[in-house]
A and B are shown apart, each in its own frame.
Chain A
């Protein structure tokens, strides 16, 4: 029987106590197409995928494979049906080789012995066929994120999966790697694989997908042909209103130097080299400076050095003319530094504390919240938290006493932003403030950053998202292997140029280590010399 659909999920309804996660959702994946699944956080994408993988049983609806109704009780059933998934966070064994990871769980054995030779041939054949360049013998911990992802894709292909699900696959890649991935996805679909591409990045969906299904708040909004739609229409379907993509900001002349960093060097925890090497820059009042770069090029350590989470090996940090090189974290905070941390669960919040206790995390010791006898002033804390909740529109189940753990990612981030901005800092360090958030929340956070700038504060933004790097800051500093390899003006530069700097192909990293340097580097050096 000829059926054009590889997998069909018809009228899926999944109810959790108090919430309908999926409400009569239909998703039809044609054979050989790239089908995008678009929706904000909490729209029900994850629930729908969990239903497909048999982790949840739907209350209503049927799943059909090749037109035949199937029951998926657990992930093994899904695997038997040829459904495979590349997770957002890779599921690889770090100290195993690429080959070992691919065959993990389906090892070819003869008489109890591994037959790696067969596996190797098969992997090389697959990797040639789809253009998935990997080194089968390299250890996962040594290879790039892009290659790790290709390993994950090979894992699915090795298992003869026909339906491939990519869960936000571009979040960790460079622009060049994203292009490569898009090409790989096209190759795969040309070979007859059906691809489900989960994303909330509209550019990528427009670039690669054939059709797109949009979910909003657990409801099915519609399926459109990507060729016949626009970015604006998709975003309207996803959010339910018009979204501003452009970040509106007026030109401003930067004021005095707020943050002055000179020769900053921070040791690495992973290897013997320094993670941050001799980095110097200034951030002025009323400007947003963005540190761009691929993840793992020293941005995290740079921020740790600035905020005092890690000691400096060399160099100095000056805030408003005051030397804070050796100041404690608390002293820096009181001197006017706010820090929206990269990892909101690790650093930003005490998840088992209530929202109100998290709101006072940076100022609980102030007389407003702690009496002279050392007891907490609960009623002041409550009213302070309520004010922030209202002002910054932080939504939660039970208001101030909600456990931070039970809140959505966007609202957790809003809580952190409320806490950090309410300190009225001179310098705001925001590290990937929009990571994992939906367009509505991103729009909100970008507005807040620009507001801070317009109120005359210095903002240091660290970002991996190209859209953000291109639209939010006034200046871009590109970091590569622990050094600042270029300074770009977002108004004049292009994504391609930025990508070259980020991958070390342009700027300081491209030239020999010390002598020859790109024009941007020279400028950087001059700035340092002038001090």
Chain B
């Protein structure tokens, strides 16, 4: 066996290669779709998406817009952490979208309706979302209801609960909630000087370092602690977990509670910056939760990988806004970024492909020797 082969066989390397391949494939597919719609501007449009804020010649302006991308990366990272944490325990927490929506609802209502300070809002959002997780977990453990089914159902329940709740605190003339900045400044997440670093981008808050710390914490819990050992054992083989006396039902519920808390935290981290207001008439859950799934897989289901994949996906999503609207209709940006994100989810598939190719190559080598 030569050196090159052994590198290709390293799991981390395989994940990295697969992720890169997915990104290239996604961009290619996006390019093809753009060409089909209007060949004249497809190259430039794709470039616009990739360039995102780099389009601004002035470094300081670019920095400010880079900040905007990061602001939205924090909640995405939290959602993808929620997904990958439960995935490691053998659960597919598709309820992350609803947990995110309800978290947003509670955080904003606590801020606007009850005029509470930011840390209470954050805690309330976490509590509400973990309750949702607990429901899914309980149903899974004791009634054998698949967490995907209960998660999807709860997604709708939470969306309309959030809409209903936030209608109370919305602007009279628009479907959007009131701006926290005007109503309750104490509910805004503290900046801790980060805004200065990014050319006075007031949305830069403690949410960003907090999200990164949490990613590291998730990694630490999964890899280094007894708790993580138990959770992963339950995920890999719940029969064996039960056989050796682990409480696999409790572990399932606990996992979804933590998953919910992460998603709720993500929602609070975003909406309590005042960057965006909730639209109370929206009829689908925010895409953040679902994008979290793509980010989790693109990051190779590794918490640290998720940091970079979240940043990339958010970058593409933001970049979509710069596509030339005279050539393409305004939905095109969403479409293209969705295609790219969609293909980003194929990492595991790519890995399989890579491994098959490696085995075949080995077999042929063995044949010749």
A16 touches B363 (CB 8 A): yes
Cβ-defined partner of A375 (8 Å) among B226, B245, B367: B226
Stretch of A73-81, A234-242, A347-355, A456-464 at the chain-chain interface: A347-355
Q: Which residues of A contact B57 (CB under 8 A)?
A: none
Scan residues 351-366 of chain A and give those whose CB is less than 8 A from a CB of chain B.
351-353, 357, 361-362, 364-365
The interface residues of chain A lying within 8 Å CB-to-CB of B241 are 350
Q: A15-B366, A17-B366, A376-B229 are in contact. Are A349 and B244 (CB under 8 A)?
A: no
Nearest B-chain residue to A333, judged by Cβ = B245
Interface flag for B233 (CB, 8 Å): yes
CB atoms of B225 and A374 under 8 A apart:
yes
- Could you say which of A347, A364, A376 contacts B240, with CB atoms under 8 Å apart? A347
- Measured CA separation A361–B226 after assembly (Å): 11
Find A349's partner among B224, B225, B240, B366 (CB 8 Å cutoff): B240
Q: Is the CB of A376 within 8 A of B244?
A: no
- The distance in angstroms between the C-alpha atoms of A365 and B367, with both chains bound, is 48
Contact between A357 and B240, CB atoms less than 8 A apart: no
Residue of A whose beta carbon sits closest to that of B369: A15
Interchain CB contact under 8 A, B245 and A328: yes
A352 CB contacts on chain B under 8 angstroms: 236-237
Q: Which residue of B lies closest to A363 (CB)?
A: B244
Using A333-B245, A376-B224 as known contacts, say yes or no to A361 and B367 having CB atoms under 8 A apart.
Answer: no
**Contact call A374/B243, Cβ cutoff below 8 A:** no
Residues A361 and B244 in contact in the complex (CB < 8 Å), given A351-B237, A375-B226: yes
A362 touches B244 (CB 8 A): yes
Q: Does B44 contact A (CB under 8 A)?
A: no
Q: Which residues of A contact B242 (CB under 8 A)?
A: 309, 329, 347
Return the contact of A364 from the options B226, B237, B363 (Cβ within 8 A): B226
Inter-subunit contact A361/B233 (CB<8 Å): yes
Please give, as numbers and ranges, the residues of chain B lying within 8 Å of A348 by CB-CB distance. Answer: 240, 243
CB of A350 within 8 A of CB of B240, answer yes
A370 within 8 A of B: yes
Q: Once the chains bind, are B366 and A350 in contact (CB under 8 Å)?
A: no
A44-76 with Cβ < 8 A to chain B: 59
Among residues of A, the one whose C-beta sits closest to the C-beta of B226 is A370
Of all chain B residues, which has the CB nearest A361? B244
B233 contact set on A, CB distance < 8 A: 350, 353, 357, 361
Per the 8 Å Cβ criterion, residues 375-415 of A in contact with B are 375-376
Please tell me if B239 contacts chain A, counting CB pairs below 8 Å.
yes
Q: How many residues of A contact B (CB 8 A)?
A: 32
Contact of B367 with A59 in the complex, beta carbons under 8 Å: yes
- Name the interface residues of B207-246: CB closer than 8 Å to any CB of A: 224-227, 229-230, 232-233, 236-237, 239-246
The interface centre, meaning the residue of A307, A329, A331 with most chain B CB atoms within 10 A of its CB, is: A329
Our pick among A59, A339, A351 for the contact of B236 (Cβ within 8 Å) is A351
Of the candidates A16, A307, A376, the one whose C-beta lies within 8 Å of that of B225 is: A376
- Chain A residues with CB under 8 Å of B171's CB are none
| Residues from chain B with Cβ under 8 Å of A491 in the complex | none
Residues of B within 8 A of A350 (CB): 233, 236-237, 240-241
Assess the B226–A376 pair: CB atoms within 8 A: yes
Chain A residues within 8 Å of B362, by CB: 17
Q: Given A347-B240, A351-B237, A352-B236 in contact, is the A59-B229 Cβ separation under 8 Å?
A: no
Is B366 within 8 A of A347, CB to CB?
no
Asked if A39 is an interface residue, CB under 8 A from chain B, the answer is no
CB distance from A352 to the nearest CB of B (A): 5
Query: Nearest chain A CB to B56's CB is how many angstroms away?
Result: 46
A15, A16, A333, A374: which contacts B244 (Cβ < 8 A)? Answer: A333
A330 at the interface (CB under 8 A from B): yes
Given contacts A361-B233, A375-B226, contact A347 B243 (CB under 8 A): yes
Closest CB in chain B relative to A238 CB, distance in Å: 26
Chain A proximity of B87: nearest CB distance (Å): 13
Q: Is the interface of B mostly helix, strand, loop or mixed?
A: helix
Interfacial residues of chain A within 290-339, with CB under 8 A of chain B in the complex? 307, 309, 328-333, 339
Within the complex, what minimum Cβ distance (angstroms) separates A301 from chain B? 15
Name the residue on B nearest A59 (C-beta). B367
Residue among B230, B232, B242, B367 with most chain A CB within 10 A: B367
Binary flags per residue of A13-32, CB closer than 8 Å to B gives 1, else 0: 00111000000000000000
B230 surroundings in chain A (CB, below 8 A): 364
Among residues 115 to 147 in chain B, which have CB atoms less than 8 Å away from a CB atom of chain A? none
- Tell me which residues across on chain A come within 8 A of B369, comparing CB atoms: 15
Q: Tell me, in angstroms, the Cα distance from A364 to B49 when the chains sit together.
A: 50
- CB nearest to B230 among chain A residues: A364
Distance, CA A59 to CA B368, complexed state (A):
8
Q: Is the CB of A365 within 8 A of B366?
A: no
Residue interface bits B335-369, CB-to-A below 8 A is 1, else 0: 00000000000000000000000010011011101
Flag if A16 contacts B366 (CB, 8 Å).
yes
Does A341 have its Cβ within 8 Å of any Cβ on chain B? Answer: yes
Residue in B closest to A334 when the chains form the complex, CB atoms: B245
Q: Report the Cα distance A331→B225, complex, angstroms.
A: 22
Roughly how many angstroms separate A375 CA and B362 CA in the complex, as a whole number? 40
Supposing A309-B242, A346-B240, A351-B236 touch, asked if A15 and B225 sit within 8 A by C-beta, the answer is: no
**Residues of the A chain whose Cβ atoms lie less than 8 Å from the Cβ of B227:** 374
Instruction: Flag if B367 contacts A15 (CB, 8 Å).
Output: yes
Min C-beta distance of A29 to chain B, whole Å: 26
Minimum Cβ distance to chain B for residue A388 (Å): 16
A349: chain B residues at CB < 8 Å are: 237, 240
- In the assembled complex, the Cα of A365 lies from the Cα of B226 at a distance in Å of 7
Interface centre among A15, A309, A350 (most CB of B within 10 A): A350
Contacts of B226 in A (CB 8 A): 364-365, 369-370, 374-376
User: Which of B243, B359, B366 has a CB less than 8 Å from the CB of A59?
Assistant: B366
Residues of B within 8 A of A328 (CB): 245
In the bound complex, how far is the Cα of B241 from the Cα of A364, in angstroms?
12
**Which residues of B lie under 8 Å from residue A307 when comparing CB positions?**
243
State the Cβ distance, B32 to closest chain A Cβ, in Å: 36
| Cβ–Cβ contact B224 & A375, under 8 A | yes
Residues of the B chain whose Cβ atoms lie less than 8 Å from the Cβ of A17: 1, 359, 362-363, 365-366
User: Which residue of chain A has the shortest Cβ distance to B237 in the bound complex?
Assistant: A350
Question: What sequence of 0s and 1s flags, for each residue 83-112 of chain B, a beta carbon within 8 Å of any chain A beta carbon?
Answer: 000000000000000000000000000000
A346 B245 Cβ-Cβ under 8 A: no
B233's closest neighbor in chain A, by CB? A350
A342 CB, nearest partner CB in chain B, Å: 11
For B228, give the chain A residue with the smallest CB separation. A376
* Across-interface contacts of B232 in A (CB, < 8 A): 353
List residues of B (1-15) whose CB comes within 8 Å of A's CBs: 1
What's the least CB distance linking A366 to chain B, in Å? 10
Query: Are the C-beta atoms of A309 and B224 separated by less than 8 Å?
Result: no
Task: Please measure, in the bound complex, the distance between the C-alpha atom of A349 and the C-alpha atom of B237, giving whole angstroms.
Answer: 8
List the B side residues contacting A370 at CB < 8 Å.
Answer: 226
CB of B245 within 8 A of CB of A329, answer: yes
Distance between A368 CB and nearest chain B CB, rounded to angstroms = 12
Alpha-carbon distance between A374 and B221 when the two chains are bound, in angstroms:
9
Please indicate the chain A residues that have their CB under 8 angstroms from the CB of B246 in the complex: 330
Let me know if A364 and B229 touch, CB within 8 A: yes
Residue of B nearest to A358 (CB): B240
Can you report 14 A-B residue pairs in the complex whose CB atoms are below 8 A from each other?
A15-B367, A17-B1, A17-B362, A17-B365, A329-B243, A346-B240, A347-B240, A348-B240, A348-B243, A350-B240, A357-B229, A364-B229, A369-B226, A376-B229
The 3 closest A-B pairs by CB, nearest first: A330-B245, A329-B245, A347-B243
Interface residues of A (CB under 8 A from B): 15-17, 59, 307, 309, 328-333, 339, 341, 346-353, 357, 361-362, 364-365, 369-370, 374-376
Task: A16-B363, A17-B1, A375-B224 given; name 4 further pairs at CB < 8 Å.
Answer: A17-B362, A17-B363, A361-B240, A375-B225
